[in-house]
Amino acid sequence: MTTVGTAVYFDGKTSARHDVRVEVTPAALRVLSPEGAVVAEWGYDEIEPLSSPDHVLRIGKRNNPSLERLEVHDPQLATAIDDLSVPVDRSGLTERRGRRKVIGWSIAATASLFMMAVFGVPEIANRLAPFMPYGFDRKLGEAVDAQVRGSLDPRGGGGEFECGNADAEKPGRAAFDKMVGQLARAAGLPFQLRVVVIRKSDANAFALPGGYIYVHQGLVQKSERPDELAGVIAHEIGHVANRDGTRSALQAAGLSFLFGMLLGDFVGGGAVILATNAILKNSYSRDVEADADAYAVKLMAKVGGDPRALGTILQRIVGTHSGVRILLDHPETKDRVTAINLMTPPGPVRPLLDPKEWAALRRVCGQ
Protein backbone atom coordinates (compact mmCIF):
# COMPACT_ATOMS: atom_id res chain seq x y z
CA MET A 1 0.00 0.00 0.00
CA THR A 2 1.36 3.40 -1.02
CA THR A 3 0.90 6.59 0.98
CA VAL A 4 1.19 9.88 -0.93
CA GLY A 5 1.72 13.38 0.46
CA THR A 6 3.53 16.66 -0.02
CA ALA A 7 6.82 17.83 1.45
CA VAL A 8 9.65 20.29 1.01
CA TYR A 9 12.86 19.01 -0.62
CA PHE A 10 16.35 20.54 -0.45
CA ASP A 11 18.78 19.13 -3.00
CA GLY A 12 21.85 20.05 -0.91
CA LYS A 13 23.38 22.02 -3.74
CA THR A 14 21.42 25.25 -3.31
CA SER A 15 19.31 26.69 -0.52
CA ALA A 16 16.21 26.67 -2.73
CA ARG A 17 13.07 25.01 -1.44
CA HIS A 18 11.35 22.58 -3.76
CA ASP A 19 7.74 21.59 -3.25
CA VAL A 20 7.54 17.91 -4.03
CA ARG A 21 5.24 14.94 -3.88
CA VAL A 22 6.37 12.00 -1.76
CA GLU A 23 5.33 8.40 -2.31
CA VAL A 24 5.83 5.98 0.59
CA THR A 25 5.88 2.58 -1.11
CA PRO A 26 6.71 -0.79 0.52
CA ALA A 27 10.03 -0.84 -1.35
CA ALA A 28 11.34 2.71 -0.99
CA LEU A 29 10.56 6.36 -0.39
CA ARG A 30 10.28 8.28 -3.68
CA VAL A 31 10.51 12.06 -4.09
CA LEU A 32 8.77 13.38 -7.22
CA SER A 33 8.80 16.84 -8.82
CA PRO A 34 5.48 18.56 -9.60
CA GLU A 35 5.89 17.25 -13.14
CA GLY A 36 6.20 13.67 -11.87
CA ALA A 37 9.94 13.17 -12.40
CA VAL A 38 11.77 11.13 -9.79
CA VAL A 39 14.03 13.53 -7.88
CA ALA A 40 15.30 11.01 -5.27
CA GLU A 41 14.64 7.47 -4.15
CA TRP A 42 15.78 6.32 -0.71
CA GLY A 43 15.67 2.89 0.86
CA TYR A 44 14.17 2.96 4.33
CA ASP A 45 17.34 1.59 5.88
CA GLU A 46 19.27 4.49 4.26
CA ILE A 47 17.21 7.17 5.94
CA GLU A 48 18.35 8.95 9.09
CA PRO A 49 16.40 11.47 11.15
CA LEU A 50 17.72 15.03 11.38
CA SER A 51 17.20 17.60 14.09
CA SER A 52 13.82 19.33 13.63
CA PRO A 53 10.88 20.86 15.51
CA ASP A 54 8.34 18.44 16.99
CA HIS A 55 5.76 19.08 14.28
CA VAL A 56 8.21 18.52 11.42
CA LEU A 57 9.84 15.30 10.27
CA ARG A 58 13.22 16.17 8.76
CA ILE A 59 15.13 13.30 7.20
CA GLY A 60 18.19 12.79 5.05
CA LYS A 61 20.18 10.01 3.44
CA ARG A 62 22.72 8.37 5.70
CA ASN A 63 26.40 9.07 4.93
CA ASN A 64 25.41 11.60 2.28
CA PRO A 65 28.14 14.29 2.03
CA SER A 66 25.63 16.85 0.74
CA LEU A 67 22.90 18.55 2.76
CA GLU A 68 20.14 16.86 0.80
CA ARG A 69 17.10 16.56 3.02
CA LEU A 70 13.34 16.30 3.11
CA GLU A 71 10.95 18.13 5.44
CA VAL A 72 7.56 16.57 6.02
CA HIS A 73 4.80 18.61 7.63
CA ASP A 74 1.98 16.17 6.80
CA PRO A 75 1.38 14.04 9.97
CA GLN A 76 -0.09 11.12 7.99
CA LEU A 77 2.87 11.04 5.64
CA ALA A 78 5.32 11.32 8.55
CA THR A 79 3.62 8.40 10.29
CA ALA A 80 3.84 6.27 7.16
CA ILE A 81 7.57 6.94 6.87
CA ASP A 82 8.03 6.26 10.58
CA ASP A 83 6.27 2.90 10.28
CA LEU A 84 8.59 1.68 7.53
CA SER A 85 11.92 3.20 8.56
CA VAL A 86 13.56 1.69 11.64
CA PRO A 87 16.12 4.52 12.04
CA VAL A 88 13.42 7.21 12.12
CA ASP A 89 11.35 5.76 14.98
CA ARG A 90 9.59 8.98 16.02
CA SER A 91 6.92 6.95 17.81
CA GLY A 92 9.49 5.02 19.89
CA LEU A 93 8.13 1.69 18.59
CA THR A 94 11.56 0.31 17.73
CA GLU A 95 12.92 1.39 21.11
CA ARG A 96 10.01 -0.27 22.87
CA ARG A 97 10.50 -3.43 20.85
CA GLY A 98 14.19 -3.40 21.68
CA ARG A 99 13.44 -2.87 25.36
CA ARG A 100 11.00 -5.77 25.32
CA LYS A 101 13.64 -7.96 23.67
CA VAL A 102 16.20 -6.99 26.31
CA ILE A 103 13.72 -7.73 29.08
CA GLY A 104 12.78 -11.02 27.45
CA TRP A 105 16.39 -12.12 27.04
CA SER A 106 17.16 -11.03 30.61
CA ILE A 107 14.29 -13.13 31.94
CA ALA A 108 15.43 -16.08 29.83
CA ALA A 109 19.03 -15.68 31.04
CA THR A 110 17.90 -15.46 34.67
CA ALA A 111 15.73 -18.55 34.24
CA SER A 112 18.66 -20.40 32.67
CA LEU A 113 20.92 -19.45 35.57
CA PHE A 114 18.25 -20.57 38.03
CA MET A 115 17.86 -23.93 36.28
CA MET A 116 21.63 -24.30 36.22
CA ALA A 117 21.81 -23.51 39.93
CA VAL A 118 19.06 -25.97 40.85
CA PHE A 119 19.92 -28.85 38.56
CA GLY A 120 23.22 -28.30 36.76
CA VAL A 121 25.55 -27.22 39.58
CA PRO A 122 24.71 -30.12 41.95
CA GLU A 123 25.20 -32.66 39.17
CA ILE A 124 28.52 -31.12 38.11
CA ALA A 125 29.68 -31.02 41.74
CA ASN A 126 28.72 -34.68 42.25
CA ARG A 127 30.75 -35.74 39.22
CA LEU A 128 33.71 -33.46 39.91
CA ALA A 129 34.24 -34.10 43.65
CA PRO A 130 35.72 -37.64 43.34
CA PHE A 131 38.40 -36.37 40.97
CA MET A 132 39.58 -33.47 43.13
CA PRO A 133 42.99 -34.08 44.80
CA TYR A 134 42.85 -34.61 48.56
CA GLY A 135 45.06 -31.57 49.01
CA PHE A 136 42.13 -29.54 47.74
CA ASP A 137 39.97 -30.92 50.57
CA ARG A 138 42.55 -29.87 53.15
CA LYS A 139 42.97 -26.33 51.79
CA LEU A 140 39.23 -25.96 51.42
CA GLY A 141 38.76 -27.25 54.96
CA GLU A 142 41.19 -24.65 56.29
CA ALA A 143 39.24 -21.85 54.61
CA VAL A 144 35.86 -23.13 55.80
CA ASP A 145 37.24 -23.84 59.27
CA ALA A 146 38.23 -20.18 59.64
CA GLN A 147 34.66 -19.17 58.80
CA VAL A 148 33.21 -21.77 61.18
CA ARG A 149 35.34 -20.65 64.09
CA GLY A 150 34.33 -17.07 63.44
CA SER A 151 30.66 -18.11 63.51
CA LEU A 152 30.83 -20.38 66.55
CA ASP A 153 33.39 -18.39 68.53
CA PRO A 154 32.65 -14.72 67.70
CA ARG A 155 34.54 -13.54 70.81
CA GLY A 156 37.70 -15.36 69.78
CA GLY A 157 37.96 -17.49 72.89
CA GLY A 158 40.66 -19.65 71.30
CA GLY A 159 41.74 -22.30 73.78
CA GLU A 160 38.70 -21.70 75.96
CA PHE A 161 36.49 -22.39 72.97
CA GLU A 162 37.88 -25.93 72.68
CA CYS A 163 37.49 -28.34 75.55
CA GLY A 164 40.34 -30.41 76.93
CA ASN A 165 43.06 -27.78 77.35
CA ALA A 166 42.77 -27.10 81.09
CA ASP A 167 44.67 -29.40 83.45
CA ALA A 168 41.44 -30.84 84.87
CA GLU A 169 40.17 -31.54 81.36
CA LYS A 170 43.28 -33.21 79.94
CA PRO A 171 42.37 -36.76 81.09
CA GLY A 172 39.08 -36.36 79.25
CA ARG A 173 40.88 -35.12 76.16
CA ALA A 174 43.22 -38.12 76.34
CA ALA A 175 40.24 -40.50 76.47
CA PHE A 176 38.57 -38.63 73.60
CA ASP A 177 41.74 -38.82 71.50
CA LYS A 178 41.99 -42.55 72.21
CA MET A 179 38.45 -43.08 70.90
CA VAL A 180 39.03 -40.94 67.83
CA GLY A 181 42.38 -42.61 67.20
CA GLN A 182 40.76 -46.04 67.00
CA LEU A 183 38.23 -44.75 64.47
CA ALA A 184 40.85 -42.84 62.45
CA ARG A 185 43.18 -45.83 62.15
CA ALA A 186 40.33 -48.06 61.05
CA ALA A 187 39.13 -45.46 58.53
CA GLY A 188 42.59 -45.16 56.94
CA LEU A 189 41.89 -41.80 55.32
CA PRO A 190 44.65 -40.17 53.23
CA PHE A 191 44.81 -37.19 55.60
CA GLN A 192 44.80 -36.70 59.35
CA LEU A 193 41.54 -36.13 61.16
CA ARG A 194 41.27 -33.12 63.45
CA VAL A 195 38.42 -33.80 65.87
CA VAL A 196 37.73 -31.43 68.77
CA VAL A 197 35.05 -30.93 71.41
CA ILE A 198 33.76 -27.36 71.67
CA ARG A 199 31.77 -25.60 74.37
CA LYS A 200 28.35 -25.67 72.75
CA SER A 201 25.37 -26.92 74.73
CA ASP A 202 23.30 -28.35 71.87
CA ALA A 203 23.77 -32.01 71.00
CA ASN A 204 25.43 -31.73 67.63
CA ALA A 205 28.42 -32.73 65.54
CA PHE A 206 29.48 -31.80 62.02
CA ALA A 207 32.35 -32.35 59.61
CA LEU A 208 34.19 -29.99 57.29
CA PRO A 209 36.17 -30.87 54.17
CA GLY A 210 39.66 -32.18 54.80
CA GLY A 211 38.98 -33.99 58.08
CA TYR A 212 37.88 -31.21 60.44
CA ILE A 213 35.20 -32.51 62.81
CA TYR A 214 33.52 -30.54 65.60
CA VAL A 215 31.72 -32.30 68.46
CA HIS A 216 29.55 -30.18 70.73
CA GLN A 217 29.76 -30.55 74.49
CA GLY A 218 26.00 -31.16 74.51
CA LEU A 219 26.46 -34.33 72.47
CA VAL A 220 29.01 -35.67 74.93
CA GLN A 221 26.57 -35.02 77.79
CA LYS A 222 23.66 -36.68 75.97
CA SER A 223 25.68 -39.82 75.18
CA GLU A 224 25.12 -42.55 77.78
CA ARG A 225 28.02 -44.73 76.69
CA PRO A 226 31.18 -44.27 74.64
CA ASP A 227 29.92 -46.20 71.60
CA GLU A 228 27.01 -43.78 71.17
CA LEU A 229 29.39 -40.84 70.92
CA ALA A 230 31.74 -42.89 68.74
CA GLY A 231 28.85 -43.80 66.43
CA VAL A 232 28.05 -40.14 65.78
CA ILE A 233 31.73 -39.34 65.19
CA ALA A 234 31.95 -42.33 62.81
CA HIS A 235 28.96 -40.88 60.95
CA GLU A 236 30.82 -37.57 60.54
CA ILE A 237 33.96 -39.42 59.43
CA GLY A 238 31.71 -40.96 56.79
CA HIS A 239 30.92 -37.47 55.49
CA VAL A 240 34.66 -36.76 55.33
CA ALA A 241 35.46 -40.05 53.59
CA ASN A 242 32.62 -39.58 51.11
CA ARG A 243 33.78 -35.98 50.53
CA ASP A 244 30.29 -34.64 51.14
CA GLY A 245 31.62 -31.32 52.46
CA THR A 246 33.79 -30.90 49.38
CA ARG A 247 30.78 -31.61 47.18
CA SER A 248 28.73 -29.00 49.06
CA ALA A 249 31.55 -26.49 48.72
CA LEU A 250 31.79 -27.11 44.98
CA GLN A 251 28.05 -26.55 44.71
CA ALA A 252 28.38 -23.37 46.75
CA ALA A 253 31.26 -22.20 44.56
CA GLY A 254 29.15 -22.79 41.48
CA LEU A 255 26.21 -20.92 42.99
CA SER A 256 28.50 -18.10 44.04
CA PHE A 257 29.77 -17.82 40.47
CA LEU A 258 26.24 -17.80 39.06
CA PHE A 259 25.10 -15.20 41.57
CA GLY A 260 28.23 -13.22 40.75
CA MET A 261 27.15 -13.17 37.11
CA LEU A 262 23.83 -11.68 38.21
CA LEU A 263 25.12 -9.33 40.87
CA GLY A 264 28.58 -8.49 39.56
CA ASP A 265 30.47 -10.07 42.50
CA PHE A 266 33.34 -12.28 41.34
CA VAL A 267 35.41 -12.02 44.51
CA GLY A 268 34.92 -15.69 45.34
CA GLY A 269 34.55 -15.31 49.11
CA GLY A 270 30.87 -15.93 48.75
CA ALA A 271 31.55 -19.55 47.87
CA VAL A 272 33.25 -20.20 51.20
CA ILE A 273 30.48 -18.42 53.08
CA LEU A 274 27.77 -20.40 51.30
CA ALA A 275 29.65 -23.64 51.92
CA THR A 276 30.05 -22.80 55.60
CA ASN A 277 26.36 -22.04 56.00
CA ALA A 278 25.39 -25.25 54.23
CA ILE A 279 27.67 -27.34 56.46
CA LEU A 280 26.57 -25.64 59.69
CA LYS A 281 22.95 -26.38 58.77
CA ASN A 282 23.84 -30.02 57.97
CA SER A 283 21.83 -29.65 54.79
CA TYR A 284 22.60 -33.03 53.27
CA SER A 285 20.14 -35.14 51.31
CA ARG A 286 18.57 -38.37 52.52
CA ASP A 287 20.87 -40.44 50.31
CA VAL A 288 23.98 -38.68 51.58
CA GLU A 289 22.94 -39.20 55.20
CA ALA A 290 22.12 -42.84 54.54
CA ASP A 291 25.58 -43.36 53.04
CA ALA A 292 27.19 -41.75 56.11
CA ASP A 293 25.12 -44.03 58.39
CA ALA A 294 26.27 -47.07 56.40
CA TYR A 295 29.87 -45.93 56.68
CA ALA A 296 29.48 -45.49 60.45
CA VAL A 297 28.09 -49.02 60.83
CA LYS A 298 31.03 -50.54 58.95
CA LEU A 299 33.59 -48.42 60.80
CA MET A 300 32.17 -49.24 64.23
CA ALA A 301 32.14 -52.93 63.35
CA LYS A 302 35.73 -52.68 62.17
CA VAL A 303 36.95 -51.32 65.53
CA GLY A 304 34.85 -53.87 67.44
CA GLY A 305 32.36 -51.32 68.80
CA ASP A 306 28.58 -51.45 68.77
CA PRO A 307 27.24 -50.24 65.39
CA ARG A 308 23.71 -50.08 66.80
CA ALA A 309 24.77 -47.40 69.27
CA LEU A 310 24.33 -44.72 66.57
CA GLY A 311 20.70 -45.72 66.14
CA THR A 312 20.25 -45.81 69.91
CA ILE A 313 21.34 -42.21 70.46
CA LEU A 314 19.38 -40.98 67.46
CA GLN A 315 16.21 -42.65 68.69
CA ARG A 316 16.59 -41.46 72.27
CA ILE A 317 17.39 -37.83 71.57
CA VAL A 318 15.02 -37.06 68.70
CA GLY A 319 12.17 -34.75 69.65
CA THR A 320 13.86 -33.36 72.76
CA HIS A 321 14.47 -29.65 73.12
CA SER A 322 18.19 -30.00 72.54
CA GLY A 323 17.95 -32.73 69.92
CA VAL A 324 20.90 -33.70 67.77
CA ARG A 325 21.09 -31.35 64.81
CA ILE A 326 21.87 -34.28 62.53
CA LEU A 327 18.29 -35.39 63.24
CA LEU A 328 16.37 -32.24 62.62
CA ASP A 329 16.96 -31.74 58.89
CA HIS A 330 17.47 -35.34 57.87
CA PRO A 331 15.48 -38.51 57.07
CA GLU A 332 12.94 -39.88 59.52
CA THR A 333 14.80 -41.20 62.56
CA LYS A 334 12.73 -44.38 62.71
CA ASP A 335 13.72 -45.29 59.16
CA ARG A 336 17.35 -44.49 59.85
CA VAL A 337 17.44 -46.60 63.02
CA THR A 338 15.81 -49.52 61.19
CA ALA A 339 18.36 -49.29 58.39
CA ILE A 340 21.25 -49.11 60.87
CA ASN A 341 20.05 -52.18 62.72
CA LEU A 342 19.58 -54.13 59.48
CA MET A 343 23.11 -53.26 58.34
CA THR A 344 24.75 -54.24 61.65
CA PRO A 345 26.70 -57.50 61.24
CA PRO A 346 26.43 -60.17 63.91
CA GLY A 347 29.29 -60.66 66.34
CA PRO A 348 30.59 -59.63 69.76
CA VAL A 349 31.13 -55.97 70.60
CA ARG A 350 33.31 -54.22 73.16
CA PRO A 351 33.17 -50.70 74.63
CA LEU A 352 35.70 -48.43 72.98
CA LEU A 353 36.60 -46.97 76.40
CA ASP A 354 36.63 -48.46 79.86
CA PRO A 355 34.41 -46.91 82.60
CA LYS A 356 37.23 -44.77 84.01
CA GLU A 357 38.10 -43.36 80.59
CA TRP A 358 34.46 -42.70 79.78
CA ALA A 359 33.94 -40.89 83.07
CA ALA A 360 36.97 -38.72 82.26
CA LEU A 361 35.71 -37.99 78.75
CA ARG A 362 32.37 -36.88 80.16
CA ARG A 363 34.31 -34.16 82.03
CA VAL A 364 36.34 -33.07 79.00
CA CYS A 365 34.73 -29.62 79.21
CA GLY A 366 35.20 -29.36 82.96
CA GLN A 367 31.84 -30.72 84.06
User: What per-residue confidence (pLDDT) applies to 161?
Assistant: 85
Is residue 55 classed as helix, strand or coil in its secondary structure?
A: coil
- Is residue 344 within 8 Å of residue 308, measured between CB atoms? yes
**Boundaries of every domain in the chain:** 3-91, 113-362
- Helical H segments across 31-169, by residue range: 75-84, 93-115, 121-128, 134-152
- Is residue 232 within 8 Å of residue 324, measured between CB atoms? yes
pLDDT higher than 90, residue 246: no
Residue range 147-157: average pLDDT? 74
pLDDT higher than 70, residue 188: yes
Average pLDDT, the chain: 81
User: What per-residue confidence (pLDDT) applies to 258?
Assistant: 45
Percent with pLDDT over 90 in the chain: 43
Residue range 7-32: average pLDDT? 92
User: What per-residue confidence (pLDDT) applies to 263?
Assistant: 43
User: What per-residue confidence (pLDDT) applies to 254?
Assistant: 57
- R_g of the chain, CA atoms, integer Å: 37
**Rounded Cα distance, 199 and 365, in Å:** 7
User: What per-residue confidence (pLDDT) applies to 142?
Assistant: 85
CATH number at 3-91: 2.30.29.30
Max mean pLDDT among 37-41, 96-100, 174-178, 210-214 falls in 174-178
pLDDT higher than 80, residue 153: no
User: What per-residue confidence (pLDDT) applies to 275?
Assistant: 60
Helical packing angle, 134-152 and 269-280, nearest 10°: 70
User: What per-residue confidence (pLDDT) applies to 137?
Assistant: 78
**Which residues, in sequence order, are CB contacts of 342 under 8 Å at separation 6+?**
none
Half-sphere exposure of 49 (CA within 13 A, CB side): 17
pLDDT higher than 60, residue 182: yes
Residue range 125-134: average pLDDT? 62
Phi then psi for residue 61, to 5 deg, are -95, 130
- The string of pLDDT tens digits covering residues 324-367 is 444 444 447 888 899 999 999 888 899 999 999 999 999 999 86
- The string of pLDDT tens digits covering residues 288-319 is 899 999 999 999 999 999 999 999 999 888 74
Percent with pLDDT over 70 in the chain: 73
User: What per-residue confidence (pLDDT) applies to 54?
Assistant: 78
Residue range 253-279: average pLDDT? 52
- The string of pLDDT tens digits covering residues 157-179 is 556 789 999 999 999 999 999 99
pLDDT higher than 80, residue 323: no
Question: 269, 278, 197, 273: which is closest to 244 by C-alpha?
Answer: 278
- The string of pLDDT tens digits covering residues 89-113 is 665 555 555 566 777 666 765 555 5
**Rounded Cα distance, 71 and 61, in Å:** 12
User: What per-residue confidence (pLDDT) applies to 212?
Assistant: 93
Q: State how far the alpha carbon of 93 is from the alpha carbons of 1, 26, 112, in Å.
A: 20, 18, 28
Question: 76, 365, 5, 41: which is closest to 221 by C-alpha?
Answer: 365
Question: 213, 245, 233, 293: which is closest to 132 by C-alpha?
Answer: 245
Q: Which residue has the higher pLDDT, 137 or 104?
A: 137
**Rounded Cα distance, 197 and 213, in Å:** 9
